[in-house]
Amino acid sequence: MNITIIGTGYVGLTSGTCFAEVGHNVTCVDNNPEKIETLLKGEIPIYEPGLADLVKQNVAAGRLKFTTSTEEGVKNGDIIFIAVPTPPQADGSVDLSFIEKVAREIAQCLTPEHGYRVIVDKSTVPVKTGDKVEQTVRRYAPEGVQFGVVSNPEFLREGCAVDDLLNPDRIVIGSNDEKALTYMHKLYEPFVAPVLVTDINSAELIKHAANSFLALKISYINAVANICEAAGADVEKVAEGIGMDKRIGRQFLNAGLGYGGSCFPKDIKAFINISETLGQPFGLLKEVERINFDQADRFLNKIREKLWVFREKKIALWGLAFKQNTDDVRESVAVTLAQKMLDEGASVIATDPQGIPTAKKFSNLTGDITFTEDMYAALDGADALIIATEWPQFAAADLCEVAKRLRTPLVFDGRNLLDPEDVKAAKLEYYSIGRPAIDSN
């Protein structure tokens, strides 16, 4: 089929490439000329494992194209996806101006000669946005244009997006238009995954409800971790014990510094706002947020307690990305921690396998911060090591080397990555989340 994706960011580029990979002809549109230029040169603007090769292969096969022209995209695509940002506003509500603009642009490019078109929203949007998209396209399109509107929320995780797209747990298709549904079934035919068809409002709600539930699991285990700390129990054992119940499951029960990234913080805020707007306030989610934001402060207090003050302290920071296997630093807890320590006068030397260029470009860190590619060099002469992102490289660190390089063998592990037995063998003083502290003696 001929597919167009408007918005070639994390979601647009990875999903467009995966649609091409299963045999569709895909045109990816973006209004950022720099991004399209990079892609046309054969480079990709983000780090996502496996994506660069897939882009190259599908461009070479003639199935994947990039352009800045929405007109060209609309001409090429029987199915037109919208994958533009839906950022939060100050009150938590969603800024839908990017969606509205694209809906208008699509409408103005459509002609009756194009025949029937399906307009699919893949961005994460508040329930009832589909209605607005339909009204807007209807209002701005020339008379005689035929189209259907679909909500097809995206559930990919950064860092494993290609696999999530090619082998999804489920595909959710929401539409009240039978013809649009036929197109969508054909589009997803090459995928071996259950397809759930719903009305458009339910599909939109599924996305916010799913992200909120995952965030709730994280805050739940973090609250349990704090109880474990007070009681001298081990949250890792507790999570294992809870997670062995198939009804609960072990995933998303990793205690730590809490959730960050471009999705959970904004989507939980949005769902709180949506529920209030609909007159059904979702107080539970406010508590999820509170627990999450307190996690980083609790961790900082733990560090302050040992270092006394940050001023004139050199801190080695392992992690800048909001999670492992990505270069994305949007709403990264690691970056928040770094800024708070810098504000209190620490000098920070940070490392991350992929996040250094993005942190330099986007995170606006101010103060005495330097970066190094070498995770061990970051430790030289530092007063403490802080682990803030769950990269496997950090989990597999040579802890004797860590102890040798630090000025004082103090380690604060915000992601519970290190094995307590290895920590003891390396004679480190060690503090993590919801697990007993380990003394260096």
Ligand X SMILES: O=c1ccn([C@@H]2O[C@H](COP(=O)(O)OP(=O)(O)O[C@H]3O[C@H](CO)[C@@H](O)[C@H](O)[C@H]3O)[C@@H](O)[C@H]2O)c(=O)[nH]1
Helix axes 200-231, 129-140, angle to 10 degrees: 140
Pick 78 or 204: Cβ nearer ligand X:
204
Copy the structure tokens of residue 181: 């549904």
Q: What is the dihedral of CA 299, 93, 210, 3, to 10 degrees?
A: -120
List the one residue from 102, 315, 321, 346 that touches ligand NAD (CB under 6 A). 102
- Identify what 238 binds: ligand NAD, ligand X, none; CB under 5 to 8 Å per kind: none
Pick 20 or 335: Cβ nearer ligand X:
335
Burial of 283 (0-12, 13-18, 19+ CB in 10 A): exposed
Q: Of 79-87, 131-139, 194-202, 401-409, which part binds ligand NAD (CB under 6 A)?
A: 79-87
Helix (H) or strand (E) holding 117: strand 117-121
Residues in binding contact with ligand NAD, number by CB under 6 A: 26
Q: Does 85 bind ligand NAD (CB under 6 A)?
A: yes
Q: How far is the CB of 427 from ligand X (least distance, A)?
A: 29
Which residue carries 């969603």 as its tokens?
Answer: 94
Residue of closest CB approach to ligand NAD: 9
Q: How far is the CB of 81 from ligand NAD (least distance, A)?
A: 10
Q: Does 250 bind ligand X (CB under 6 A)?
A: no
The one catalytic residue among 18, 28, 109, 263: 263
Pick 85 or 357: Cβ nearer ligand X:
85
- Identify what 372 binds: ligand X, ligand NAD, none; CB under 5 to 8 Å per kind: none
Pick from 254, 250, 269: which is nearest to 222 by CA?
254
Helix (H) or strand (E) holding 26: strand 25-29
C-alpha distances (whole Å) from 212 to each of 72, 123, 219 are: 37, 16, 10
Pick from 363, 333, 335, 352: which is nearest to 433 by CA?
333
Active site residue 263: yes
Pick 39 or 386: Cβ nearer ligand NAD:
39
Q: Does 263 bind ligand NAD (CB under 6 A)?
A: yes
List the one residue from 20, 44, 172, 263 that touches ligand X (CB under 6 A). 263
Q: How far is the CB of 155 from ligand NAD (least distance, A)?
A: 7
Q: Does 158 bind ligand NAD (CB under 6 A)?
A: yes
Pick 236 or 429: Cβ nearer ligand X:
236
> Quick check: 321 and 328 in contact, CB under 8 A?
yes
Pick from 331, 330, 338, 408: which is nearest to 370 by CA?
338
Q: Which of residues 3-62 bind ligand NAD (CB under 6 A)?
A: 6-12, 29-32, 35
Q: Does 323 bind ligand X (CB under 6 A)?
A: yes
Burial of 279 (0-12, 13-18, 19+ CB in 10 A): exposed
What is the b/e burial string over 16-45, where b = at least 16 CB atoms within 10 angstroms of the residue's CB? bbbbbbeebbbbbbbbeeebbeebeeeebb
- Identify what 31 binds: ligand NAD, ligand X, none; CB under 5 to 8 Å per kind: ligand NAD
Pick 72 or 422: Cβ nearer ligand NAD:
72
List the one residue from 85, 101, 128, 155 that touches ligand X (CB under 6 A). 155
Q: Does 409 bind ligand X (CB under 6 A)?
A: no
Q: Residue 223 in 3-state DSSP?
A: helix
Q: Does 83 bind ligand NAD (CB under 6 A)?
A: yes
DSSP calls for 255-288: -SS---SSSHHHHHHHHHHHHHHTT---HHHHHH
Q: How far is the CB of 59 from ligand X (least distance, A)?
A: 25
Which residue carries 């609309």 as its tokens?
Answer: 74
Angstrom distance (rounded) from CA 393 to CA 376:
11
Q: Residue 97 in 3-state DSSP?
A: helix
Angstrom distance (rounded) from CA 170 to CA 173:
10
Distance from the Cα of residue 190 to its chain's centroid:
26
Q: Of 154-162, 196-204, 314-322, 357-365, which part binds ligand NAD (CB under 6 A)?
A: 154-162
Pick 207 or 313: Cβ nearer ligand NAD:
207
Q: Does 124 bind ligand X (CB under 6 A)?
A: yes
- Give catalytic residue positions: 263
Residues that bind ligand NAD (CB under 6 A): 6-12, 29-32, 35, 83-86, 98, 101-102, 123-124, 154, 156, 158, 262-263
Residues that bind ligand X (CB under 6 A): 124, 154-158, 211, 214, 218, 252-254, 256, 258-261, 263-264, 267, 322-323, 390
